[in-house]
Structures are given as C-alpha cells and as structure tokens.
Chain A
Amino acid sequence: MFANLRDKLARTRTAFRKVEDLFQSGKRREEILDGLEEALILADVGVAASGRVLEALRTKTRKDAGEADLERALKDELAAMLSRRADGRPDGSGPTVILMVGVNGGGKTTSAAKLAARFKRDGKRVMLAAADTFRAAAQEQLALWGKKLGVPVVKGSYGADPAAVVFDAIQSFKAQQGDVLVVDTAGRIHTNTNLMNELEKVKRIVVREHPGARLESLLVLDATIGQNAIPQAREFLKFSGLTGIFLTKVDGTAKGGAVVAIAEELDLPIRFIGVGEGEDDLFEFSPREFVEALLS
C-alpha cells in the first residue's frame, strides 16, 4: 500500500532539490518541516513529542535553512535528546543486579539471556534468576537459555512469589561473589496494580538483601510499540525505579521512535538494543546511529 519511507523521502528530496535554487520562500521551509514531522510520526515518536522537536528546530534554525540543513539540525536535536543520559551503562565492574521488566511479550527473557551472554564473555561471574513464576514454561525457557550459555539459573516454582525467587537468587549471588545477576520477571501490563506492587516488592528485596549492589532496572520495550510506551515507562518508573530502556526487535521494520518521547519526558537513557533472537544479537545503544535509522 505504501511505498517504503526511504523511497518516499528520496522522492521528496529530489523534489526539493529542484526548487532549492529557485525560491527561498517560507513555504518551502514549512513543507520540509511538515515532511520531517510526518517521518517522525511514522517512526512512532508521537504527535506531541514530534511537535516539540519541530518547535525547537524552528527556533534554532535560520529562516533560509535548506532541506539538508534542517535534516541535519533535526538529527542533532534528536541525538542530543537521546544522549542526555547515555552515560553509566552497567559494565559489571561492581556487583550488579539487573531487573528486566516490561509488558508481556516484549523480549525480557531473551534480552536477559543476551545480557548474561555479554557479561560472561567479558569474563564476569554471571547468574540468572527466573522470577517469572506465572507464564507457562517461563521457567523452562530461561533454564534452557542458562544451559545454552553455561550460566547458572536460580529457579522458582510456578505460582510462587517472585520476590522469594529473587531472595534466593541474591543469597547465592552473594555467596558466590557474583558480578552480575540478571533477573527475568513476568510480563505485566502497567495498569495492573497488583502486579506492579509485586514488582515493587521484588525491587525492595534486591535493595534490602544486597545494598552494596548496583541496581539496574531496565524497561524492555518492543520497537513496534506505539504511544502506549509512554504511560508504560511512567508506571514502571514509579514501581521499579527504572534506570534505562532496553529496546528490542530493532531488526524488524519498526523504528522504536517512542523512546524519544520517553527519553525526553522521563529523562531515561536507552542502554541496549536487541536485533535478533540469538544471544549475540545485542548492541549498546548509540544515539547517532539510532537517529540515522529513525529517519531513514
């Protein structure tokens, strides 16, 4: 139905180039800005955040800025927004507990495995905790990952309190002087207060049982997600004290632009991206590259 966006932008570009030398009219500028806004909306940045970004662009660029200038300025603006907090990614240099949280099916378990694989490769002592005691075969899923990666997995029984699993995991993590403990949790919709309280309890247990550890709470977001990502981030931040975002499924055609609004509104850094179903399909987030892909 729709030509792909890049083709479309390419067409827009040639059209602009033709008139570029002829006019320096305000209309052309507005047209370009409209085109950029459309690209942002199509990338799931959302109407409100796109509007704010464009507003900034309007005030920061000269009236006679050409299309290339505007596009560059937009990329700079977005990259700056996404770089604000792009520091301090967990590296396992001290004991670190990473909580994987998010709505159902986003990729928490797979991403937990990816992180475990990465830290193991870096020579860290890694453990996994299977705190999803709800979904069918969630325990087996993580156990199979652990086996594949050669990483020990602390399991729980179905229906058990996830906080109890985390408690056990922390005890053996401390006993074995582990570097990184990655905790997989059950998917939950952020409007379900009981389940969100459950998550808060998990977080409390980590802080109480291992006060010396760095707690990293990553919201796992599927790149296909739309505007609901924002209320999700807000709620998970409230209950599990998010420290960053793990964006998954970036290997598809979705752009994951919702993270722009999250970074802007909630000042949360994007830590990692997932680009496939294997344990090595993990990248550290790079604002520049992300912005290029967002507008391509």
Chain B
Amino acid sequence: MFDQLSERLERMMKFLRGEVKVTDKNMAEALKMMRLAFLEADVNYKVVRDFEARIKEKALGEEVLRSLSPAQQVIKIVRDELAGILGGQQKPLLFSSRPPSVIMLVGLQGSGKTTTCGKLARWVAGIGKSPLLVSFDLKRPAAQEQLKTIATSLGFPFYEMTSARMASPKEALKELLVHTANRGFDPLIVDTAGRLHVDDELMEELRLVRAILDPTEVVYVGDAMTGQDAVRSAQAFEEKIGLTSVILTKLDGDARGGAALSIVAVTGRPIKFIGVGEKPDKFEVFHPERMASRILGLGDILSLIEKAQGEADVAETEEMARKLRKQEFTLEDFKKQIVQMKKMGSLSDLLGHLPQVGPFKNLAKAQVDDLKIAHFAAIIDSMTPEERENPRVLNGSRRARIARGSGRPVNEINQLVRQFQEMQKMMKRSVVQKLLGGLK
C-alpha cells in the first residue's frame, strides 16, 4: 500500500523536475499518472475519463503560477477540481422548518446503515436535538435487536417496528409520525433493510416508505471500499428512490475511497459525514479537500503551500522545510514552529495535511492539541539552549528541573521529547523528504 504510494510519488517527482512549462506532451504524461492513481483508488473508469477531459481543458488554459512547477500545478488543478466535485465546502445536515425532521438511511447490504443511525443520533444530540430511532429492517435476522442495542446503549429511545404492524404500512408509518411529533422527538432517524439496486420489489417498497414519511434527508450510506460498481448502485438509488446526501463509511482502513468521487459524480449529492470506525463516536463531518488528497494518495502539501503563501510567512516556512529536509530540526525550531504556525493553523493541522496512510497515521495520531501546544511551549522555554539543540542530554535531573521551571509534570516532558523524536524519525523517511522537496 504505502510502497505503492511512495513509488508513485517518486515517479511523479522525477517527472516534475526539469519540466519548466506545461506542454501538450508533459501534460499527457501527468494526466496518465493521474488516471492510474484514480483507477488504483477505485474511481469509476468512466468518471475518470470525464474528469480527465475537464482537467486537460483547465490545465492548458491556466496561467502558470510562478511558485509551482507545471506538474505540481496539474496536481493542484486536479486536487482543486476534485475537491470541487466532492462539494467544495462542507454541506450541513438539513432539518425541516416544521419538526420533526425525518432522516432516512438507505443503501446496499452491509454498507453500515444501522451503525450510522447510532452515530447520527449521537451527533444530532450533540447539537441539542432529541432523536428517535426506528428500523424498517424486518428481513435480516436480529436487525431490530441490533438498532435497539445501539439506541439503548447511547440512551436514545427506540421505536419497535414489527411485521404485524407493517402489514398495513400506511397506518403503521402514520402512527409512527404521530408518535414522534407527540413526544416531541426530532429528528426521527429511520434505518432500512439493505437491498440490491436491481431488486425491483424492494426498491418499490422503499419508494413507498419514502413517499409516506416525506423525509428531510434521504442518505445513501456507501462503503468506502467499493470498487467500480459504486456508480451503478448509487445511481439506481438516486433514480428510483431520490437521495439528498451521502455518508461514506469504513474510512478507518487504508481504502483510498475513490468510490466517494464516483458516487458524488453520478448522484450529484454531497457527502456530509464519514464513518471512521465501528463505535458511535467514530464519525466525522466530511471535508472535501482531505478526501481529494486521500484519493490522489498525496498529502495535502499543496494547500500547505497555499496557506504558507497566503500568510506571507513563506521565508519562515521554507526555512522550516529546509531544516526538516536536512534533519536539522531542533526543539528550538519545534517551538518556533509552534508559535509561528499559529497563523497557519496548529501543528496537528499541519500533520493532518499529510496522507492518512502508513506511518503518517501514527504521526497524525500523535497530534498535538492547542492546549498542549501552550504547555509544550512552556516546557521548551524552560530548557537551556543546549538542551533545545540536543534533547538527548535530557537526563532525569534535567527533566526534573524543567518540570519545576515550567510547572508541567515530568511525564509531559517525556511525552514531548518522545513526540519530537518520533517526528524527527518520521521526517527522515524518504517519502516525507520528497514531499518536503515539493516545498523547494
């Protein structure tokens, strides 16, 4: 996985060097690399073709930015375009002006609908709402039990649906809506049975439920590991049922998630959340740019460049990059970065721009939140210049002295040093060096 990524980056970087202008020829070469990257990431073949045509038009028409090499520029256009398709900016979950809102989740078998119902309930509760959960899955063994368990463990009410009740679906659904409104629940979160888009009978059933419940959101729950078929199923759900948004699940693995692009391209519906684990809190608001980078297998190094340029701290950033590259990065720099990069966003933000795969994942996990940054700055302030240059000299008594000076516990000092060393180690990796090479 990671080998492939670095190999591709290497090819790309090799190609970048020495190219001064965007020409038809090097453009074709760059586009081919992109095409392969897309296909390897499971973006649908036809979607890739369409996309390629658009990129080509854009790239040849655009003025060369002084700061970027042609291929970097192509990558930048691709990434921007990708992020554009994926939604540009974040789209919020919709609620009805006349509560209760109804949020209905649909999709193929095993895509993550039931789990996502729990995650959504938890999320809406976090913005002060009181959700009610119901499942129309009367098919899969223990489907009711599954949602009920999830609802109960999170402390949300669960409305039991039975085959007997659903014998007269219209009445059952009306009763459910009345129950929801009378008890003041909002939203009503509706789980449905997984079904194949080619199963006409089940699709018709779903269409009926949709017609009666008149949901505010009809969410297509798609699996991030899906391959080329993503377009067919998503499109069928859009055409036969009608969707308003998409949630992508199982992004906690190393799937590149090209299905995201395929699904959005054929349905035109925005992705609003992503699932990043089985537990109810493993749920995040979707960020188009991060997804764009993930699909491309590139760290979002370009937006870093942009940010740096925007903040007029170019010289500082370049110096930092140079030091990182040369592995001259010291604790002193670490602190400087902490302070200086406040403008660019925190360090964790910076680390978040690296691809969420392989060793980067650990790096992002070792992220530094903003409060910690203040503490870390205090710790570094209490060190002697020698200690900042060379943290290896930090023995027990020195650490105790620093702890007194900074008012932070010794284990936090240990943590800082460990994190710093981890970062140094990470920066030695060739792929990071290459990414930094991109920073000039």
| A contacts, CB < 8 Å to B | 1-2, 38, 41-44, 46-48, 103-107, 134-138, 140-145, 148, 187, 189-192, 222-229, 231, 249, 251-255, 257-258, 277
Contact = CB atoms under 8 A, between A and B. Distances in A.
B223 A224 contact: yes
A43 B228 contact: yes
B227 A258 contact: yes
B57 to A, nearest CB: 20
Interface stretch (B104-112, B240-248, B368-376): B104-112
A225 B110 CA distance: 12
Interface stretch (B21-29, B250-258, B321-329, B396-404): B250-258
A255 B229 contact: yes
A187 B258 CA distance: 22
B150 interface: yes
B149 A137 contact: yes
A48 B40 CA distance: 8
Contacts of B233: 224, 252-253
Contacts of A191: 252-254
Given A47-B40, A231-B254, A251-B196, A42 B140 contact: no
Contacts of B46: 1-2
Contact of B110 (A141, A190, A192, A222): A222
> Which of A137, A143, A222, A258 gathers most chain B CB within 10 Å?
A137
B45 interface: yes
A141 B141 contact: yes
A252 B256 contact: no
Given A43-B228, A47-B39, A134-B278, A228 B253 contact: yes
A141 B230 contact: no
B252 A189 contact: yes
Given A189-B253, A226-B255, A2 B231 contact: yes
Contacts of B258: 226
A226 B149 contact: no
B99 to A, nearest CB: 28
A245 B226 CA distance: 17
A42 B278 contact: no
Nearest to B226: A224
Interface of B: 1, 36, 39-42, 45-46, 108-112, 114, 139-143, 145-150, 153, 196-198, 223, 225-233, 235, 250, 252-256, 258-259, 266, 278
A229 B233 CA distance: 19
A192 B361 CA distance: 12
State the 8 A-B residue pairs at the shortest beta-carbon distance, nearest first.
A226-B227, A105-B110, A226-B42, A254-B229, A137-B146, A136-B149, A144-B141, A140-B142
> Which of B36, B42, B46 gathers most chain A CB within 10 Å?
B42
A228 B255 contact: yes
Contacts of A277: 109, 139-140
Contacts of A38: 45
> Which of A38, A42, A227, A253 gathers most chain B CB within 10 Å?
A227
Contacts of A43: 228
A184 to B, nearest CB: 12
Nearest to B37: A47
Contacts of B229: 44, 223-224, 252-255
B197 A253 contact: yes
Contact of B227 (A192, A225, A251): A225
Identify whether the interface residues of B are mostly helix, strand, loop, or mixed: loop
20 contacts: A103-B250, A104-B250, A105-B111, A105-B250, A106-B110, A107-B109, A134-B278, A136-B147, A136-B150, A137-B142, A189-B253, A224-B230, A225-B226, A226-B228, A226-B259, A228-B42, A228-B253, A229-B225, A252-B196, A255-B229
Contacts of B112: 104-105
Contacts of A140: 141-142, 145-146
B227 A224 contact: yes
> Which of B111, B150, B255 gathers most chain A CB within 10 Å?
B255
Given A226-B255, A226-B258, A277-B139, 12 more contacts: A1-B46, A41-B228, A141-B142, A141-B146, A148-B141, A224-B229, A225-B226, A226-B42, A226-B228, A228-B254, A252-B198, A252-B229
A128 B192 CA distance: 28
A249 B225 CA distance: 14
B225 A1 contact: no
B108 A224 contact: yes
A93 to B, nearest CB: 30
A231 B1 contact: yes
A222 B222 CA distance: 13
Given A135-B278, A191-B254, A103 B235 contact: no
Contacts of A42: 45, 228
A137 B145 contact: yes
A5 to B, nearest CB: 10
Contacts of B153: 136
Contacts of B235: 1
A144 B140 CA distance: 10
A132 to B, nearest CB: 11
A257 B149 CA distance: 36
> Which of B36, B109, B227, B259 gathers most chain A CB within 10 Å?
B227
A42 B112 CA distance: 24
Contacts of B41: 227
> Which of A226, A227, A277 gathers most chain B CB within 10 Å?
A226
A77 B223 CA distance: 31
A253 B232 CA distance: 8
Given A253-B198, A253-B233, A228 B225 contact: yes
B227 A107 contact: no
